[in-house]
């Protein structure tokens, strides 16, 4: 999980409403209902009284451009004050701003510090992102034990990214004994909430029959759901299915389309397969220049097949 490449999150349901004052509750309620114009007015009033929830809501509105023009600097200012007042949601969102360098100077160290504060307060999103960082080794160093501890806490609260990450741990055997059954269970929980990586993992498991009975039709369903959300790996697998005709009629034009979507997100496998289609003129017009560009990009990421194809292409042009 690269914390510098995380899309700005959608608005989250705010906690602590049971103990909220009237202005705070109205602010959060209007925001959660999507009435951003009224929320803006109500939250501004509550924020003047240094209300942490209202400040957090305003940060989300400016961060996401909800009812106002998106402004990361203003979002950071609201999150900073809310975080100072101990709001764990604001600490989490401010951490994401520092991770991405949006509205503030980029700082992984400050981001991690904020994630840790929010996680210590029991924020499931912070637990999930920090657990994912320990799992991948980004910034904090790889630590499967800490990853498992944080991810389980978040997953117990229904956090889909944490459920997916636990599925990955059991699927790969990272820090735990490999267990496809548990992996499928966690992937299903996350996919049920629309988590695209989990949908893609379920697609691969049903496609190859890993821990489940092989079911190409169900695999295709999961790949399509994930690909529709822009998941490059799911788009790659869809491209392979269309290219080979394994599980559905062969369609090289659709294969090229899916590989193209994935390749544009720098997926090395898709870059290679799309390059091959350009070299053969299958599904797309023959274009050796485009093929070379794609092979160079894929080879640059360590794809051996792309490097070999590039060498053959160079040999032919001599």
| Predicted local distance difference test score (pLDDT) of residue 26 | 85
All structural domains of the chain: 21-117 (1.25.40.10), 122-228 (1.25.40.10)
133's tokens: 């960082």
| Predicted local distance difference test score (pLDDT) of residue 316 | 78
**CB within 8 A of 289, min separation 6: which ones?**
none
| Predicted local distance difference test score (pLDDT) of residue 186 | 98
86: Cα within 13 Å, side-chain hemisphere: 3
Neighbouring CB atoms inside 10 A of 47's CB total: 23
| Predicted local distance difference test score (pLDDT) of residue 171 | 96
Q: What angle do CA 83, 87, 89 make, to 5 degrees?
A: 95
- Residues of 205-220 as b/e, b for ≥16 C-beta within 10 angstroms? bbbeeebbeeebebbb
- Could you report the per-residue pLDDT of 215-229, keeping only the tens digit for each? 999 999 999 999 999
Distance CA(237)–CA(108), nearest Å, equals 33
pLDDT in tens, the chain (318 residues): 343 333 444 434 344 443 345 667 789 899 999 999 999 999 999 999 999 999 999 999 999 999 999 999 999 999 999 999 999 999 999 999 999 999 999 999 999 999 999 999 999 999 999 999 999 998 999 999 999 999 999 999 999 999 999 999 999 999 999 999 999 999 999 999 999 999 999 999 999 999 999 999 999 999 999 999 999 999 999 999 999 998 678 999 999 999 999 999 999 999 999 999 999 999 999 999 999 999 999 999 999 999 999 998 888 776
Neighbouring CB atoms inside 10 A of 276's CB total: 17
């Amino acid at each position: 999980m690269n914390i510098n490449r995380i899309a700005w999150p959608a608005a989250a349901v705010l906690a602590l409403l049971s103990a909220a004052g009237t202005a705070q509750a109205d602010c959060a309620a209007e925001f959660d209902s999507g009435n951003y114009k009224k929320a803006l007015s109500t939250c501004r009033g509550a924020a003047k009284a240094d209300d942490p929830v209202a400040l957090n809501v305003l940060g989300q509105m400016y961060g996401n451009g909800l009812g106002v023009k998106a402004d990361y600097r203003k979002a950071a200012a609201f999150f900073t004050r809310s975080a100072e007042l101990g709001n764990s949601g604001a600490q989490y969102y401010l951490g994401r701003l520092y991770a991405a360098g949006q509205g503030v100077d980029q700082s992984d160290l400050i981001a991690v510090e904020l994630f840790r504060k929010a996680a210590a307060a029991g924020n499931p999103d912070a637990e999930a992102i920090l657990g994912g960082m320990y799992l991948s080794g980004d910034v904090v160093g790889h630590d499967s034990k800490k990853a498992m501890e944080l991810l389980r806490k978040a997953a117990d609260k229904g956090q889909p990214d944490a459920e997916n990450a636990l599925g990955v741990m059991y699927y790969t055997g990272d820090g735990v004994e490999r267990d496809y059954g548990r992996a499928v269970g966690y992937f299903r929980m996350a996919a049920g909430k629309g988590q695209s990586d989990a949908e893609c993992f379920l697609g691969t498991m049903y496609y190859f029959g890993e821990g489940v009975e092989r079911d190409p039709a169900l695999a295709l369903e999961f790949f399509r759901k994930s690909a529709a959300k822009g998941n490059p790996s799911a788009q790659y697998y869809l491209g392979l299915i269309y290219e080979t005709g394994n599980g559905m009629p062969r369609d090289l034009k659709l294969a090229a389309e899916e590989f193209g979507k994935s390749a544009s997100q720098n997926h090395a496998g898709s870059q290679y397969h799309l390059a091959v289609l350009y070299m053969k003129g299958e599904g797309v017009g023959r274009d050796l220049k485009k093929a070379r560009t794609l092979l160079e990009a894929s080879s640059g990421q360590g794809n051996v097949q792309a490097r070999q194809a590039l060498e053959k292409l160079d040999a032919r042009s001599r």
